Structure 1
Amino acid sequence: MSTPRTLTLPDGVHPANLETDRGTFATLMAVPDVGTPLGTVLLVPGWTGSKEDFTPLVDHLARYGWRTVAVDQRGQYETPGPADPSAYTLAALGADVAAISEALGGYSQLVGHSFGGLVAREAVLIEPSVFSTITLLCSGPGAFTDQVTLQGLQLLAFGLDNLPIEQVYDMKLSHDSEAPQYIAPPADIAEFLRERFTQNVPISLAEITRRLMDAEDRTEKLAASGVRAQVLYGESDDGWPLPVQDRMAELLGVRPKVIPDAAHSPAIEQPATTARLLTEFFHDR
């Protein structure tokens, strides 16, 4: 989950519902002020996140000349989803992203953050023809393997299956606030974080939590897809271990790009640098 620094949308960034063959998705969109867009960037958020994780990045990418669209995945925050576990497999979520790209005209520059990287990879494997590139932003090759992380995910999934989601959030917040690095956000941001978490479809959040425990490593299949790939992460990213991300990059035949002074949420922590590295990759033929 990324923590926004402000809830005020930059000029030119606006919410919009996007109709696709697989349903309606809540988005934040921006287009360049002048000229024809260079293309479309499609941003997919991660576990417990939302389109708001990309707000400053949407603005920066539009200033570089790209139509930019950040989405809530199905069952995530402002996008509805069914109370059916089978709707939240990586294949189902990846098919959604492919349908979103197709609805936007195809050939998207696809960026998946954290868990969104697993979904983005799946989308490329399902329908590579509708993507120009894929960037795995602070993401990994598959499920987490660290036992402490897995135990935490198991507890959260169990709570979501058995308790009101509001209670799960309060328990998670209590746990997170005990960490030495925890900094309490301003009141309006704290209210948004609680609202976002509790508006998730509980089954959706429980199932994508399980995907972080059971996702297969499909890096070699992505390497064979023909879609150009990039691995990009903050220099102090605390998601997947950096050697794991480096190995993923090696299998993809690329060198990882590192964002200075950023951790697991570079779209918020260093949006200007993140946008520059992304656009350099988009233009690098």
Structure 2
Amino acid sequence: MSTPRTLTLPDGVHPETLETERGAFATLTAVPDIGTPLGTVLLVPGWTGSKEDFAPLVDHLCRYGWRTVAVDQRGQYETTGPSDASAYTLAELGADVVAMSKALGGYSQLVGHSFGGLVAREAVLIDPSVFSTISLLCSGPAAFTDEATLQSLQMLAFGLENLPIGQVYDLKLEHDRQAPGYVAPAEDVAAFLRKRFTSNVPISLAEITRRLTDVEDKTDQLAKSGVRAQVLYGAADDGWPIPIQQAMAAALGVEAEVIPDAGHSPAIDQPAKTARLLVDFFHDYPSLLTS
């Protein structure tokens, strides 16, 4: 889960609703004030996250000339979703992202953070024709393998199906507070984090949690998709082990890029550095022509 530093949106970043053939999605959107946008960047958040995880990054990417759209996935925070487990398979979530890109005109530069990277990968495999690039930000190739992590995720999924979601959040918060280095957020941010978590459709969050325990490695399929890929992570990322992310990059035929002074949430920790790495990749057409 990413923790925003502030709830004040940068100038030019606005809440909007994106209408697609698969329904409406809540977004934070920014469009350059001058000239024609260079294209569209579509940002997909991760587990227990939301579009707000990208707010500073949306601003920076827009300043580089890109129309930038961060979304809440179905059932996530301010986007509604059904109370049906079958609606939250990776195939369903990926199809949503395909529909988003089509609604935005296609050829999106797709960025998936953490679990959002797994959804972004699925979207590319469903229809690579509507994406120009895919950037996997602090994401991994498959389910977690650490036994303690798997046990925690399984317990959380069980709780979401059997307890009020507010009670699940309180239990999770108590667990998080015991972690070394825990820093309590500002009061308004803490209230936002609780509201965001409890606004999720419970079965949505339960199923997304389970995907982190059972998703298969489709890196080889992504490598054959024809969509240029990028792998980048914070130097202190504590999600998927860094060697696993590096191996995923190697399987994609690219070198993983490191964002200094950042953890699992570079869009918040280092939005300017993250934006620069992304736009350099978006514009890296010469290497494509000489490969």
Q: Distance in 2 between matches of 1:43 and 1:228?
A: 16
How many residue pairs get aligned? The number is 285
> Where does residue 180 of structure 2 map in the other structure?
180
Describe the superposition over 1:1-58 as per-residue Cα deviations: whole angstroms up to 9, x where unpaired.
1000000011100000110000000000001121100000000000000000000000
> Where does residue 60 of structure 1 map in the other structure?
60
> Where does residue 242 of structure 2 map in the other structure?
242
Runs of 4+ in 1 over 2 A off after TM superposition: none
Structure 2 residue ranges without an equivalent (≥5) = 286-291
> Where does residue 270 of structure 1 map in the other structure?
270
Q: Secondary structure at the match of 2:233?
A: strand
Structure 1 residue ranges without an equivalent (≥5) = none
> Where does residue 199 of structure 1 map in the other structure?
199
Q: Distance in 1 between matches of 2:96 and 2:180?
A: 38
What is the CA distance between 1:210 and its match in structure 2? 0.2
Q: Which residue identity does 1:173 align to in structure 2?
A: L
> Where does residue 163 of structure 2 map in the other structure?
163
Describe the superposition over 1:110-155 as per-residue Cα deviations: whole angstroms up to 9, x where unpaired.
0000000000000000010000000000000010000010000001
> Where does residue 24 of structure 1 map in the other structure?
24
Q: TM-score, normalised by structure 2?
A: 0.98
Q: Distance in 2 between matches of 1:186 and 1:236?
A: 23
Q: Secondary structure at the match of 1:180?
A: coil
What is the CA distance between 1:181 and its match in structure 2? 1.0
Q: Distance in 2 between matches of 1:32 and 1:5?
A: 24
What is the CA distance between 1:282 and its match in structure 2? 0.1
Q: Distance in 2 between matches of 1:202 and 1:281?
A: 36
Q: Distance in 1 between matches of 2:250 and 2:57?
A: 27
Residues 148-159 of structure 1 mapped to structure 2, 5 A cutoff? 148-159=148-159
> Where does residue 254 of structure 2 map in the other structure?
254
Q: Distance in 1 between matches of 2:265 and 2:13?
A: 19
Q: Secondary structure at the match of 2:18?
A: strand
> Where does residue 218 of structure 1 map in the other structure?
218
Q: Percent identity?
A: 79
RMSD: 0.3
Q: Which residue identity does 1:79 align to in structure 2?
A: T
Q: Which residue identity does 1:166 align to in structure 2?
A: G
Q: Secondary structure at the match of 1:253?
A: coil
Describe the superposition over 1:151-188 as per-residue Cα deviations: whole angstroms up to 9, x where unpaired.
00001000001000000000000000011210000000
Describe the superposition over 1:61-82 as per-residue Cα deviations: whole angstroms up to 9, x where unpaired.
0000000000000000000000
Q: TM-score, normalised by structure 1?
A: 1.00
> Where does residue 135 of structure 2 map in the other structure?
135
Q: Which residue identity does 1:121 align to in structure 2?
A: R
> Where does residue 100 of structure 2 map in the other structure?
100
Q: Which residue identity does 1:200 align to in structure 2?
A: N
